[in-house]
């Protein structure tokens, strides 16, 4: 599974969250995703600001086997960021078979934890 949530801003200033869920089928792994893992098939999406031409202000990208429960994804990501006081971005983390990447505009950096959690909720909601 490949979950993506992005805070985007249109050229007219409209801001919103676009989130996508791609599935890989019966592929599993125990640690990092296979190097040849394809993007997957789009299973669902939630788009508040239609492309093209949007500027991405922040994003969260999660890769994990399709069968990983949403609760496990949520808890693992929050547990992984808990020890960080401040960090350099992009943040790239691997925990077991869940990997994620998070980045954001400098203007959003002071509230990075809240932004990451906000995007995490949207990413999991796109899963359906």
Q: What is the pLDDT of residues 69-127, one digit of tens each?
A: 999 999 999 999 877 766 788 999 999 999 999 999 999 988 999 999 999 999 999 99
Residues in the chain, how many? 128
3-state SS, residue 25: coil
Q: DSSP assignment, residue 11?
A: T
> What is the structure's pLDDT at 39?
84
| Confidence label for 30 from pLDDT (cuts 50, 70 and 90) | confident
> What is the structure's pLDDT at 34?
82
Given a cut of 80, whether residue 58 has pLDDT beyond it is yes
Q: How many other β-carbons are positioned within 10 Å of the β-carbon of residue 13?
A: 6
How many H-runs (helices) and E-runs (strands) does the chain carry? 2, 6
Please state, rounded to an integer, the average pLDDT across all residues of the chain: 92
2 alpha carbon, distance to own chain's centre: 8
Task: For residues 22-30, give the mean pLDDT.
Answer: 87
């Amino acid at each position: 599974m490949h979950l993506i949530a992005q805070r985007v801003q249109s050229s007219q200033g409209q801001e919103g969250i676009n989130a996508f869920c791609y599935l890989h089928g019966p592929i599993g792994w125990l640690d990092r995703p296979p190097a040849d893992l394809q993007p997957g098939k789009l299973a669902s999406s939630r788009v508040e600001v239609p492309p093209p031409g949007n500027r991405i202000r922040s994003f969260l990208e999660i890769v994990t086997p399709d069968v990983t429960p949403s609760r496990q994804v949520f808890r693992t990501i929050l547990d992984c960021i808990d020890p960080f006081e401040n960090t350099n971005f992009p943040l790239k983390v691997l925990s077991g078979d869940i990997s994620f990447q998070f980045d954001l505009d400098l203007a959003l950096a002071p509230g990075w934890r809240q932004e990451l959690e906000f995007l995490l909720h949207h990413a999991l909601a796109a899963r359906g």
